[in-house]
């Protein structure tokens, strides 16, 4: 499809395991974002890529979280030693280069629901 | 410390009437505000935005009003339709970090037939 694609849609894992979540952005969108949404809250910023590089990773909660975008398209969010508090919906979004003309107008995927038991 | 607040978790409105969703913010550095709409099991979709240099922006049935002195914005939907039933999120950004949106917790709008 033409939209942002995220896999898996659901992931159940055990505490301490490693998890990878994948995001395939809209073709031609150079900006890519990861957000996390916990139950009853709005999305929370994690990291922003412009091309291949992480322009801002200030939202990553700790060093167990890491994201890559090696070819400037698909991105993978990696979570090591998962904890129950990591349970949330992880949203990926993409956009044209972040600039004033398109500020904040992000195109979101359906999210990956992570449950850590 | 919530910088963007949506104090009404839910709102129920009769079909055909006006829906008014409210949002308050605390950071005076915010200069761009957006509303997103979210259906269950889908990602948020952009609805309408407003720059801080304006006090109103209209797009069809949707109008966003910004009151900078009160640090308050609202989304008006007229007339409300059943398909408008969704969760509405208010979000804000500022010039030095215009890619990083700060979101409210959302308001669930229910349109009654």
Q: What are B51's two structure tokens?
A: 């720059």
pLDDT digits (tens, 9 = 90+) for A15-72: 999 999 999 999 989 899 999 999 989 999 999 998 888 889 999 999 999 999 999 8
Q: Which of B46, B99, B103 sits opposite A42 (nearest CB)?
A: B103
Chosen for mutation from B100, B104, B107, B108 (greatest number of chain A CBs closer than 10 Å) is: B100
Q: B35 and B48 in contact (C-beta within 8 Å)?
A: yes
Report d(CA A99, CA A92) in Å as an integer.
18
pLDDT digits (tens, 9 = 90+) for B50-93: 999 999 999 999 999 999 999 999 999 999 999 999 999 999 98
Other CB atoms closer than 10 Å to residue A41's CB: what's the count?
Answer: 14
How far A17 CA lies from chain B's nearest CA (Å)?
25
Of the candidates A50, A68, A66, A47, the residue with the CA atom closest to the CA atom of residue A58: A47
Q: Which of B34, B99, B105 sits opposite A41 (nearest CB)?
A: B105
Q: Who has greater pLDDT, A21 or A97?
A: A21
């Amino acid at each position: 499809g033409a939209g942002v694609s995220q896999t898996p849609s659901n992931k159940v894992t055990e505490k301490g395991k490693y998890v990878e979540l994948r995001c395939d952005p809209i073709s031609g969108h150079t900006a890519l974002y990861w957000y996390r949404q916990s139950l009853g809250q709005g999305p929370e910023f994690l990291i922003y890529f412009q091309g291949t590089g992480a322009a801002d990773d200030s939202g990553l909660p700790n060093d167990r979280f890491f994201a890559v975008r090696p070819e400037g398209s698909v991105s993978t969010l990696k979570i090591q030693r998962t904890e129950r508090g990591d349970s949330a919906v992880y949203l990926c979004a993409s956009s044209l280069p972040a600039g004033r003309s398109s500020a904040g107008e992000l195109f979101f995927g359906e999210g990956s629901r992570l449950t850590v038991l | 410390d919530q910088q963007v607040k949506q104090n009404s978790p839910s709102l129920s409105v009769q079909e055909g009437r006006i829906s008014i969703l409210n949002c308050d913010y605390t950071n005076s550095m915010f200069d761009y505000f957006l509303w997103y709409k979210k259906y269950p099991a889908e990602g948020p979709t952009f609805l309408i935005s407003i720059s801080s240099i304006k006090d109103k922006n209209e797009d069809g049935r949707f109008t966003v009003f910004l009151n900078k002195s009160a640090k308050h914005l609202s989304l008006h939907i007229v007339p409300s339709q059943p398909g408008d039933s969704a969760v509405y999120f208010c979000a804000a950004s500022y010039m030095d970090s215009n890619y990083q949106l700060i979101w409210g917790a959302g308001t669930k709008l229910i349109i009654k037939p």
